[in-house]
Amino acid sequence: MKLFIQILALIHLTIALEAQCEINTDFGVNGKSQISLASGSKTEVLQNSFLDSNDGIVGVGYSFTNTHDAMSMSFHNSNGSANEEVNGNGKIIINETEDNYGQVGLFTAEGKYLFGGHWNFFSNEQFKFRQFHADGSPDSSFGVEGEVFPFIQGSVIQRTTGISQDSFGNILATGYADIFNEESLVFMKLSQYGNIIIQPEKITLPTITSFISDRQTKYKNKILVSGEGSNGTQSKGVVVRISEDGVLDPNFGLSGVALTPILNGTNSKVINALSTGDETIFVVGYHIENDRNILFLRSLNDEGKLTEDFFDDGYSLYQIPTESIPVDFAIHNDGLYVAMNNQSNSTGQVYKFNLTGELDNTFGVEGIYYLESEAEEKLTRIHFNSMNELILTGISDNDFTVWNLSCEQISSNSEPNTFKVNVFPNPTSEKINLTFDDPQTINEILVFNSLGQVIIKEVLNSNNMLSLEVNLRGIPLGNYHLRIQSNKQIYITKFIKS
């Protein structure tokens, strides 16, 4: 009886709702909003995007203007039309004699558009920030005619990769610079008027010799910075937590740093770290191992330690196609939504995982939504707006592009759950038996390994079943997930082959 109670406790996911995503055809033109920025060779790169207070979408990056690269921004209304309040055409292009690159952006508490990036100054890269009013005109109260140029000594490469505000409206910026030939995390603090409060300074990380930051997010009154670190031989996915004054938080990980474990000599990178608003921090990234890529999801507590109630003791791994690379993720209601790029056919996908780390097979096609287009496309960021619509940003046909998807629940069961599954023995050596308290229509049985790969698939479509047996001969020893799909519900449980 004790074993039976423990097995029931492992049935931790019940899905009585299915989510169907489709392009919102009321948005832009057939669900897509595009703004062309470049001329000449028509090269455009979208580095980042964000939403303003009206659910408008702002893209930031750069475009080639015949002779050089120009910092470029596109402004899209919530319905997909160009925001013509900005310069009359919904775009800002910083066309100067030197190369300028936009990398990050923010809609400030004061209702202005702030952008960070870098520019080439006498063959050296230098941090640069620009601020604009809602109509696209430069904010002359910010720095010198709307521009600020912080600089760090001993560096020729300086790039801004994260930006946010504290409760006083001060600007908290992070990035990296090659300080004496080593990429280092850099922090700086500016007032809302562009006055430099804390000059750009290197943050020395324990056990890491070089670090390239990729993203910054706020966590309570602290900052999470994610990216790729190295100890000289291997790259590691890294999450750093610092104060709003750029000081490492000693109560997080190892002196402010949480590292992703190395798998079999692989290199890894963290693409982002986000919080649900409580004390849980979700981390998403990928490992590169020989001829395969492995997506990882981690769940950390406030101290930077793995949480035990997330998949396999805080760590979830899924093998993905070698040509697929994750670029961003968002947390929304019941799931983690990961944006991917397929580099072989230039298409984008969205994977959905539930908050316990399993792929949500009721979403899209077996947990994946595929953007269908004949154009070459590359995703950059993923958001949810106040209407619960999924917003994707990236490049399509070389234009800054926004996609809008409506993801609706298409079936539900408001009746009390009466679908009881008994799984035994557990652990097991050769087979597992499933019994049901009431006759069930079982459509499919799937067994996943720890990488999220389907290793057993049985299509049944059998009615009035009270029991069935799953043969496990031929699969290695280890931890597995069993997915049982009836005509109304899905159950997922864990078992061990020993």
What pLDDT is recorded for position 262?
A: 62
- For 265-287, the pLDDT digits (tens) are 568 888 899 987 678 999 999 98
Backbone angles phi, psi at 3, to 5 degrees: -65, -40
- Contact partners, residue 181, CB within 8 Å, separation at least 6: none
Q: How far is it, in rounded angstroms, from Cα 357 to Cα 373?
A: 29
Q: How far is it, in rounded angstroms, from Cα 381 to Cα 336?
A: 14
With cut-offs at 50, 70 and 90, classify the pLDDT of residue 42. Answer: low
Alpha-carbon torsion 355, 356, 362, 368, what sign? positive
* CA 439 to each of CA 24, 460, 478: distance values in angstroms, whole numbers, following the listed order: 40, 14, 31
Q: How far is it, in rounded angstroms, from Cα 288 to Cα 272?
A: 17
The mean per-residue pLDDT over the stretch 196-216 comes to 93
What pLDDT is recorded for position 264?
A: 59
What pLDDT is recorded for position 44?
A: 87
Hey, which of 40-44, 102-106, 440-444 has the most confident mean pLDDT?
A: 102-106
Higher-pLDDT residue of 333 and 227 is 227
What pLDDT is recorded for position 242?
A: 97
What pLDDT is recorded for position 19?
A: 53
- For 335-360, the pLDDT digits (tens) are 899 999 987 777 899 999 988 888 88
What's the first-to-final CA gap in the chain, in angstroms? 21
Higher-pLDDT residue of 8 and 432 is 432
With cut-offs at 50, 70 and 90, classify the pLDDT of residue 412. Answer: very low
The mean per-residue pLDDT over the stretch 323-332 comes to 91
Backbone angles phi, psi at 478, to 5 degrees: 150, -170
Of 47, 54, 55, 164, give the one whose Cα is nearest residue 114.
164
The mean per-residue pLDDT over the stretch 58-74 comes to 90
What pLDDT is recorded for position 71?
A: 94
For the cut 70, the answer to whether the pLDDT of residue 219 exceeds it is: yes
Are 134 and 113 contacting, i.e. CB atoms less than 8 angstroms apart? yes
What pLDDT is recorded for position 265?
A: 58
Hey, which of 31-45, 232-246, 279-293, 459-473 has the most confident mean pLDDT?
A: 232-246
Higher-pLDDT residue of 292 and 441 is 441
Higher-pLDDT residue of 261 and 182 is 182
Q: How far is it, in rounded angstroms, from Cα 491 to Cα 16?
A: 9
Question: What's the one-letter identity of residue 77?
Answer: N
Of 271, 179, 148, 177, give the one whose Cα is nearest residue 216.
271
Of 117, 215, 105, 187, give the one whose Cα is nearest residue 157.
117
With cut-offs at 50, 70 and 90, classify the pLDDT of residue 6. Answer: very low
- Domains annotated for the chain, with CATH where assigned, are 2-10+421-497 (2.60.40.1930), 21-411 (2.120.10.10)
HEC sequence for the chain: CHHHHHHHHCCCEEECCEEEEEECCCCCECCEEEECCCECCCCEEEEEEEECCCCCEEEEEEEEECCCEEEEEEEECCCCCECCCCCCCCEEEECCCCCEEEEEEEECCCCCEEEEEEEEECCEEEEEEEEECCCCCECCCCCECCEECCCCCCEEEEEEEEEEECCCCCEEEEEEEEECCEEEEEEEEECCCCCEEEEEEEECCCCCCEEEEEEEEEECCEEEEEEEEECCCCEEEEEEEECCCCCECCCCCECCEEECCCCCCCEEEEEEEEECCCCCEEEEEEEEECCEEEEEEEEECCCCCECCCCCECCEEEEEECCCEEEEEEEEECCEEEEEEEECCCCEEEEEEEECCCCECCCECECCEEECCCCCCEEEEEEEECCCCCEEEEEEECCEEEEEEEEEEEEECCCCCCCCCEEEECCCECCEEEEEEEEEEEEEEEEEECCCCCEEEEEEEEEEEEEEEEEECCCCCCEEEEEEEEECCCEEEEEEEEC
Q: How far is it, in rounded angstroms, from Cα 90 to Cα 397?
A: 18
Higher-pLDDT residue of 123 and 394 is 394
Hey, which of 69-78, 317-326, 409-418 has the most confident mean pLDDT?
A: 69-78
For the cut 50, the answer to whether the pLDDT of residue 165 exceeds it is: yes
Higher-pLDDT residue of 314 and 142 is 142
For the cut 60, the answer to whether the pLDDT of residue 459 exceeds it is: yes
The residues that bridge with 319 in the sheet, in sequence order, are 294
* Percentage of the residues of the chain whose pLDDT score is greater than 90: 49
The mean per-residue pLDDT over the stretch 210-236 comes to 90
What pLDDT is recorded for position 73?
A: 96
The mean per-residue pLDDT over the stretch 379-406 comes to 92
* Percentage of the residues of the chain whose pLDDT score is greater than 70: 89
For the cut 50, the answer to whether the pLDDT of residue 3 exceeds it is: no
Backbone angles phi, psi at 51, to 5 degrees: -105, 145
pTM of the model as a whole = 0.79
For the cut 70, the answer to whether the pLDDT of residue 5 exceeds it is: no
Higher-pLDDT residue of 198 and 366 is 198
Hey, which of 26-30, 42-46, 352-356 has the most confident mean pLDDT?
A: 26-30
The rounded mean pLDDT for the chain is: 85
Q: How far is it, in rounded angstroms, from Cα 2 to Cα 7?
A: 9
CA dihedral of residues 46, 370, 28, 114 (deg, nearest 10): -30
